[in-house]
Chains A and B, each alone.
Chain A
Amino acid sequence: MGTQGVNLLYLVTIACFVLALKFLSSPATARRGNQIGAVGMVIAIVATLLKSGVHITWLMVIGAAIGGAFGAVGARRVKMTAMPQMVALFNGVGGGAAALVALAEFHDLAPGHGRIRGDVSVAILLSALIGSISFSGSLVAFAKLQELIKGRPITYPGQKLVNAALFGSCLAAGAVVLSGSEHSWLLWALVGGASVFGVLFVLPIGGSDMPVVISLLNAFTGLAAAATGFELENNVLIVSGMLVGASGTMLTLLMGRAMNRSITNVLFGAFGQVSASAAEASANGASGTVRSATADDVAVMLAYASKVVVVPGYGMAVAQAQHDVRALADILEAKGVEVTYAIHPVAGRMPGHMNVLLAEANVPYPQLKEMDEANAEFGRTDVALVIGANDVVNPDARNNAGSPIYGMPILNVDQSQAIVVLKRSMSPGFAGIENPLFLNPKTVMLFGDAKDSVAKLASGVKSL
């Protein structure tokens, strides 16, 4: 097929992708949108096979079959609670592919073809650099979320210096290539250096900052794909890559805003400092008594409430308690209790994490309230049921200027008549920050595994 025909098919793909994103504006049409996107992808693949200069080889077919099978099986098998790491993994392999395409292009063009055009060099360098960082960074994010390595931030002295030096050398290698020295090994060195940098860059970020990192890596892979488009003079790559880049950037900024922290602070904030000041804060922290209750006590509170707001956090995801939460809500609703869910934007490990889990448990989406809407309701809430959430309900973010999370918008659960906190133990949360909510006279703690506790509450309410 001629170039123009192929480009027209690519244009159809672009239209499909834009429609796919447009349909995501409502839960009712979102699934159809995704299917339109998939059709667009098939069209792009067919167009590429028809493109003159592309020969269908066995290696290509086998490669696509292996990759496709791996993707399909992984995507089918993964549990909804493990979704963040799966998304990180797919994101990483995309970045890796972009970096490899850059390597192959460079190897193909560099020797014997005369000097590579400046703009193509820049595109190759960018997609190699960003793609490699996204690849290794996403793998580290995957390993952290899968708990193959420590989820907490890993820091060591001189970390920033090492990272800066490494990134600087990658840029230097790029500059040498741009100045006309087209040795193949230079780009290999750049890819290697950028991969190590990706690892070091994500290692010190952890826990509740994960949504920012995942969004950012998503944007990176998009940008790498767009740079690949410049490399191959291919519009469909440029547009699709940039759409993803825009989406990832936007989510990153939204997550940062939801934590009231600049992106630089999240990425390079050296969480070590925060932990140190948090330890200090808790050393001279407020004293008070923690009241713990039995499941039966709490069941009575819930059954005789007229409005209960559930505040889910990462703890609910870890305990996979979403189905039990739904069952409890059903029983309460059967007794005439109004149940809604208050979702903090950064609850969980990726943007919108809690919404997906509750949707899996068949919670009707009109019951899921965003932060502002939820905060307007706490004043007339009888019981706020906090399940595995900590920092997003910490009143220190509002009141204590010395707290590391001061200024972060939170869910004001302390405005409800009573607060029940389901927690594994009294151990401080991820950041080691003291939470005065637990000492609030209106608060009772229900210790234990979230799934167990919720199941006990459900049977308790039922027997009343």
Chain B
Amino acid sequence: MSHTATLVAELTVLVLAIFLGFEVISKVPTMLHTPLMSGTNAIHGIVLVGAMIVAGSVHQDGLIRVIGFVAVVLAAANVVGGFVVTDRMLEMFKKREPPKAE
């Protein structure tokens, strides 16, 4: 694919993702806004993929190696921390019977 064609395809995906994002997220109830925030926080940890591509590239000098290393550390913390924190929160939103008034 030519560069322009790739760019157009990427922009198409981007715009569709914006609409999809608003569509899906507007269905999330207020009660779950904190988990939504920390869950999306975990999702943007996907930047780890970018960090790994940089850290694992072939032709690299010392500087890139250092930057890649730090980027992997930060992104990995983002991913693991994000998912674990969200899981802890959502665990508390278990379905419960409201206590009966006597």
Indicate if the CB atoms of A44 and B40 lie closer than 8 Å: no
Q: How far is the CB of A365 from chain B (nearest CB, A)?
A: 6
Indicate if the CB atoms of B13 and A66 lie closer than 8 Å: no
Residues in A with CB closer than 8 Å to B50 are: 97-98, 101, 225, 228-229, 231-232, 234, 237
CB interface residues, B 31-46, toward A, < 8 Å: 31-46
Indicate if the CB atoms of B72 and A64 lie closer than 8 Å: yes
Residues in B with CB closer than 8 Å to A35 are: 87
Residues in A with CB closer than 8 Å to B38 are: 83, 87, 90
Q: How far is the CB of A84 from chain B (nearest CB, A)?
A: 8
Indicate if the CB atoms of A336 and B101 lie closer than 8 Å: yes
Indicate if the CB atoms of A56 and B56 lie closer than 8 Å: yes
Q: How far is the CB of A71 from chain B (nearest CB, A)?
A: 3
Indicate if the CB atoms of B99 and A364 lie closer than 8 Å: yes
- B-contact 0/1 string along A205-233, CB 8 Å cutoff: 00000000011001001101110111111
CB interface residues, B 55-86, toward A, < 8 Å: 55-60, 63-65, 67-86
CB < 8 Å: which of A37, A108, A242, A353 contacts B17? A242
Residues in A with CB closer than 8 Å to B96 are: 362, 364-365
Indicate if the CB atoms of B55 and A71 lie closer than 8 Å: no
CB < 8 Å: which of B24, B31, B70, B88 contacts A75? B88
Q: How far is the CB of B58 from chain A (nearest CB, A)?
A: 6
Residues in A with CB closer than 8 Å to B48 are: 41, 44-45, 64, 97
Closest residue to A364 on the B side, CB-wise? B98
Q: A54-B53, A72-B81 are in contact. Are A251 and B95 (CB under 8 A)?
A: no
Tell me the dominant secondary structure on chain A's binding face.
helix
Indicate if the CB atoms of B46 and A241 lie closer than 8 Å: yes
For chain B, the bracket of interface size reads: 35 or more
Closest residue to A86 on the B side, CB-wise? B85
Residues in A with CB closer than 8 Å to B27 are: 22, 25
Q: How far is the CB of A141 from chain B (nearest CB, A)?
A: 13
Indicate if the CB atoms of B80 and A247 lie closer than 8 Å: no
Closest residue to B88 on the A side, CB-wise? A75
Indicate if the CB atoms of B86 and A246 lie closer than 8 Å: no
Indicate if the CB atoms of B86 and A247 lie closer than 8 Å: no
* 28 A-B contacts (beta carbon < 8 Å): A45-B52, A53-B56, A53-B57, A55-B56, A59-B69, A63-B73, A65-B76, A74-B81, A87-B85, A93-B78, A97-B51, A108-B57, A221-B47, A222-B43, A233-B6, A237-B47, A238-B13, A239-B14, A243-B24, A245-B18, A247-B25, A247-B37, A250-B26, A254-B33, A352-B33, A352-B34, A352-B37, A365-B31
- Interface positions of A (Cβ within 8 A of B): 13, 17-18, 20-22, 24-28, 30-31, 33-35, 37-38, 41, 44-45, 48-49, 51, 53-57, 59-60, 62-72, 74-76, 78, 80, 83, 86-87, 89-91, 93-94, 96-98, 100-101, 103-105, 107-108, 117, 119, 214-215, 218, 221-222, 224-226, 228-248, 250-251, 254, 330, 333-334, 336-338, 343, 345, 350-353, 355-356, 359-360, 362, 364-368, 370
